[in-house]
Amino acid sequence: GQQLNQSPQSMFIQEGEDVSMNCTSSSIFNTWLWYKQEPGEGPVLLIALYKAGELTSNGRLTAQFGITRKDSFLNISASIPSDVGIYFCAGQLTQGAQKLVFGQGTRLTINP
Amino acid sequence: GAVVSQHPSRVICKSGTSVKIECRSLDFQATTMFWYRQFPKQSLMLMATSNEGSKATYEQGVEKDKFLINHASLTLSTLTVTSAHPEDSSFYICSARGRGRADTQYFGPGTRLTVL
């Protein structure tokens, strides 16, 4: 089936550092979503992107929908301990499509 | 953001019994609900998609007779794991998509199922 390649798989950073992760695909996506999941919890929506080139911020988080519609990135600035978790990208292939395609996740660990 | 709840948050049952998990959209009408399964340190695996008032669409490899899904109203979907076995132990997560939020799925907090 369709897959999203999410990288990196894991990150170990110092508190205060900036973080960048991305997802790429060989397919064109109509929507890109970024979620964060903490242990034992469901994913929480961070940012939703609907148009190619769209750049959206949510506090210290910024995400962009790639111009080619085949990629997206998520940046976290000035990381803090509560940013720890697993970040998933998800894409929707066509407008109105019901299913999401998920990336493998990026596990973020922060050293205080 | 939209709120989706799941109940129970965790359940332990004996092998051979059935377990029902509820998923509710609390502040919007969910025209479509999704059920996922997640194994440790892995991404979410879609099990089935259910539209209100119609039969669920199961992903390849998911047994529809084992994982019964009912989406009887615009705010409630249930997943029943029938005749559960230890290999069914997993983290089950629902998500909901509704009118006015057509391209965004909101997830519930998940249900940890342990089958002894």
Tell me the pLDDT tens digit for each residue of A82-95: 999 999 999 988 76
Band (A3; pLDDT cuts 50, 70, 90): confident
To test the contact with chain B by mutation, choose from A38, A100, A106, A107 the residue with the greatest count of B C-beta atoms within 10 A, namely A100
B96 pLDDT above the threshold of 70: yes
Closest CA to B77 of B45, B99, B108: B108
Share of chain B above pLDDT 70, in %: 95
Give pLDDT, residue B51. 87
Residue A47 to residue A33: CA distance in whole angstroms: 6
A67 pLDDT above the threshold of 70: yes
Q: Which two tokens stand for residue B26?
A: 């609390």
- Do B6 and A105 count as a contact with CB atoms less than 8 A apart? no
Q: How many CB atoms lie within 10 A of CB A43?
A: 30
A57 pLDDT above the threshold of 60: yes
User: Would you say A70 and A29 are in contact if contact means Cβ atoms under 8 Å apart?
Assistant: yes
On chain A, the residues whose CB falls within 8 A of the CB of B95 are: 42
Pairing type for strands A10-14 and A106-111 reads: parallel
Nearest C-alpha of chain B: how many angstroms from A16? 26
Q: Inform me whether the C-beta atom of residue A93 falls under 8 Å from chain B C-beta atoms.
A: no
- Do A92 and B49 count as a contact with CB atoms less than 8 A apart? no
pLDDT, tens digit, 9 for 90 and up, residues B54-84: 889 999 999 999 999 998 888 999 999 999 9
Nearest C-alpha of chain A: how many angstroms from B48? 9
